[in-house]
Structure 1
Amino acid sequence: MKRVRTAHADQPWRIHEFTRDFRVEDVWSYRTPGAGPDDFPAMLAAMRTGGGFAKQAPPVRFLFAVRWKLGALLGWDRPTAGLGARVRPLRDRLPDDLAKTVDVTETGGTPFTPMYELADESARELANKTCHTVMHLGWVPSGDGDHELRMAVLVKPNGRFGRLYMAVIAPFRYLIVYPALTRQWERAWRERTFPLPEAADPRP
Structure 2
Amino acid sequence: MSRQLPEIEHTARPWRIHEITPDFRIEDVWAFRTPGAGPDDFPVMRDALRVAGGLSRNPPLVALLFAVRWKLGALFGWDRPEEGMAGRVGSLCDRLPDDLWQPRAGEPVGDTPFTAVYELHDESADELANKTVHTVMHLGWVQAETGEYELRMAALVKPNGLFGRLYMAGIAPFRHLIVYPALTRRWERAWRERAHQDAGRVARAGECE
Whether the TM-score (by the shorter chain) exceeds 0.5 is: yes
**Residue of 153, 166, 171 corresponding to 1:169:** 171
Match of 1:5 in 2: 6
Q: Distance in 1 between matches of 2:105 and 2:133?
A: 23
Q: Distance in 2 between matches of 1:101 and 1:145?
A: 34
| Partner secondary structure for residue 181 of structure 1 | helix
Q: CA deviation at 1:68?
A: 0.3
Structure 1 residue 196 displacement after superposition: 3.8
Would the alpha carbon gap of residues 130 and 73 (structure 1) be closer, same or farther in structure 2, given more than 3 Å must change?
Answer: same
Distance (Å, rounded) in 2 between the aligned partners of 1:42 and 1:101: 20
Deviates more, 1:175-184 or 1:103-112: 103-112
Contact 1:101/1:116, CA 8 A, preserved across alignment: no
RMSD across aligned C-alpha pairs, in angstroms? 1.8
Distance 2:113 2:135 in 1: 11
Residue in structure 2 matching 1:159, options 158, 161, 168: 161
Q: CA deviation at 1:81?
A: 0.3
Spell out, residue by residue over 1:5-47, the C-alpha distance to the aligned partner (whole angstroms, 9 max, x if none).
3211011100000011000001111000011110001111111
Match of 1:3, as an amino acid? Answer: Q
Q: TM-score, normalised by structure 1?
A: 0.93
Of the three residues 125, 140, 146, the one matched with 1:123 is 125
Match of 2:84 among 82, 85, 100: 82
Query: Does the 8 A contact of 2:53 with 2:110 survive in 1?
Result: no
| Paired residue secondary structure (1:155) | strand
Deviation at 1:106, TM superposition (A): 4.1
Which ranges in structure 1 are unaligned for 5 or more consecutive residues? none
The Cα of 1:54 is off from its aligned counterpart by 2.2
Residue 67 of structure 1 aligns with which residue?
69
- Matched length: 201
Amino acid at match of 2:158: K
2:31 pairs with one of 29, 32, 39: 29
Q: Separation in 1 of the partners of 2:36 and 2:103? A: 27
Counterpart contact for 1:138–1:150, Cα < 8 Å: yes
Q: Aligned partners of 2:78 and 2:6: how far apart in 1?
A: 28
Tell me the equivalent position of 2:193.
191
Q: Distance in 1 between matches of 2:91 and 2:106?
A: 12
List 4+ stretches of structure 1 deviating above 3 A: 195-199
Distance between the aligned counterparts of 1:178 and 1:82, measured in 2? 24
Paired position in structure 2 for 1:54: 56
Corresponding residue to 1:100 among 97, 102, 111: 102
Distance 2:65 2:180 in 1: 12
Tell me, yes or no, if the aligned pair for 1:27 and 1:152 is still in contact at 8 Å. Answer: yes
| SS of equivalent to 2:99 | helix
Output the amino acid matched with 1:168.
Answer: G
Deviation at 1:107, TM superposition (A): 1.8
Aligned: 1:15 with 2:25: no
Q: Is the 8 A contact 2:132 2:160 kept in 1?
A: yes
State the SS of the aligned residue for 1:97.
Answer: coil
| Identity over aligned pairs, percent | 64
Q: Provide, for residues 79-111 of structure 1, a one-character-per-residue CA deviation record: whole Å limited to 9, x for no partner.
A: 110003100111100023322163533421110
